[in-house]
Amino acid sequence: MTDLPPPLLSDVVTASSSRRAFLGKASRLGIALPIAGALAGCQRGDEPNRGDTVAAQQGRDPLIQNPNSRLDTAHDVRAHTTSTAEGAATGMQPIAYRRWDPVLPPASSNRTHRLAWSATEVPIHITPEVVVAAWTFESDVPGPTVRCRVGDTVEFTLTNRGKIPHSMDFHAAQIDPKASFRSVVPGESVSFTFQPKYAGAFKYHCGSAPVLMHIGSGMYGAIIVDPPAPLASAKEFVLVQSEYYLTPPSSGVQAFDYGKMLSTMPDYVAFNGRPSQYIAEPIRVKVGDRVRLYVISAGPTHPCHFHVVGEQFDRVYLGAPPEVPIRGVQTFTVPAGGGMVFELVCDIPGEFPFVNHGFGHGQKGAIGFLVVE
């Protein structure tokens, strides 16, 4: 059995008395909040030991190679997982736990955005107890949120300061992927420029082979593209859902398990990299606010069936905002590798859980509170 600590339970236990009352009410209503018991089914012993077999297959299986990259076919998954374990074992100080701020950065008046990022492998606390041997953009999971506008110029450089090849794939770009999304080896950089054509919530990720391993180990984030004419004023937040597939701890650090990734049954599912973080520290807005949520499913595999308990979405944009809004929506699915823009109007005060209503995943940490005061 995986020696998973119970961070989700501690989140709930440290909540306020009013929250305890709410949790009790939620429980009576059948809203399954995440507790340690939810993880009991994620025992490593339940799963076949597929890692070696899978790894041995990598060199023969063209499906898991990255067609966007000139360099990736030289690397199989065993090299990657070994690097992860070494990265965790070399005594690197883990990055401390913190709440990942979901507030969308303000729009810039600049029409050119110059980004110089690093790819790194570094241990990160995803709960106060759990440390993962993450692969990252800018030493965080998710990486930084980019905000720009349709027609802006994004000048991007990725420098690989890690131990294995990495790359960058922006879903907001229309660009030659072989040239721009190619992998770079440690110590080298890749640069490219693009101009987003469509507004919306877009994913970015490392596309190095095997892509599943690089996304699954933390290399993803959000790029939010505003339409030429601003949307209605709103409180704006970014929620990037992702899954964690972990090995048992070694020296207090859990690496990522490629075999589990292939089996697609995660240990945790999180918004913005930390399971249940917004249970302990909710997102707060005021009565009367319009709330706009940019929801991205980073995966690597699963969608997000996004729902806010006790609310209805005033709008969900099917096209690039403001195009094709649908009204009065209860739940809408954000596909893996996709992003959707949701809006609701906070007419009444209360504590509203936002969840992945695919509750097998909501209960593993894809849940939080929107508190309307």
Q: Which is nearer to Cu ion, 214 or 315 (CB)?
A: 214
Burial of 194 (0-12, 13-18, 19+ CB in 10 A): middle
Kindly state the smallest distance separating residue 72's Cβ from Cu ion, in Å: 10
- 142 prior amide bond cis, ω within 30: yes
Q: How far is CA 297 from CA 18, 249, 294, 341, in A?
A: 31, 26, 10, 12
Kindly state the smallest distance separating residue 128's Cβ from Cu ion, in Å: 27
180: number of CA atoms within 13 Å, CB side? Answer: 16
Kindly state the smallest distance separating residue 208's Cβ from Cu ion, in Å: 4
Residue with tokens 């097998």: 360
Q: Which is nearer to Cu ion, 119 or 295 (CB)?
A: 119
Kindly state the smallest distance separating residue 80's Cβ from Cu ion, in Å: 9
Q: Which is nearer to Cu ion, 166 or 361 (CB)?
A: 166
Cα 355 to chain centroid, rounded? 14
Cβ-closest position to Cu ion: 206
Q: Which is nearer to Cu ion, 204 or 294 (CB)?
A: 204
Contact 67, 243 (CB under 8 A): no
Could you give the CA distance from residue 141 to residue 72 in angstroms, rounded to a whole number? 23
E strands, the chain, are 112-125, 131-137, 146-149, 153-160, 169-170, 189-194, 200-205, 220-226, 235-244, 268-271, 283-285, 290-299, 304-308, 315-317, 325-326, 331-334, 339-345, 350-356, 367-372
Contact 339, 201 (CB under 8 A): yes
Kindly state the smallest distance separating residue 135's Cβ from Cu ion, in Å: 5
Kindly state the smallest distance separating residue 222's Cβ from Cu ion, in Å: 17
310: number of CA atoms within 13 Å, CB side? Answer: 18
Structure tokens belonging to residue 252: 């207090």
Q: Which residues bind Cu ion (CB under 5 A)?
A: 166, 206, 208, 214, 219
Kindly state the smallest distance separating residue 124's Cβ from Cu ion, in Å: 15
How many residues are present in the chain? 373
Q: Which is nearer to Cu ion, 19 or 214 (CB)?
A: 214
Contact 83, 164 (CB under 8 A): yes
Q: Which is nearer to Cu ion, 68 or 277 (CB)?
A: 68
Q: Which is nearer to Cu ion, 163 or 214 (CB)?
A: 214
Q: Which is nearer to Cu ion, 216 or 368 (CB)?
A: 216
Kindly state the smallest distance separating residue 117's Cβ from Cu ion, in Å: 12
Residue with tokens 């919530």: 201
Q: Which is nearer to Cu ion, 244 or 317 (CB)?
A: 244
Contact 107, 62 (CB under 8 A): no
Kindly state the smallest distance separating residue 63's Cβ from Cu ion, in Å: 18
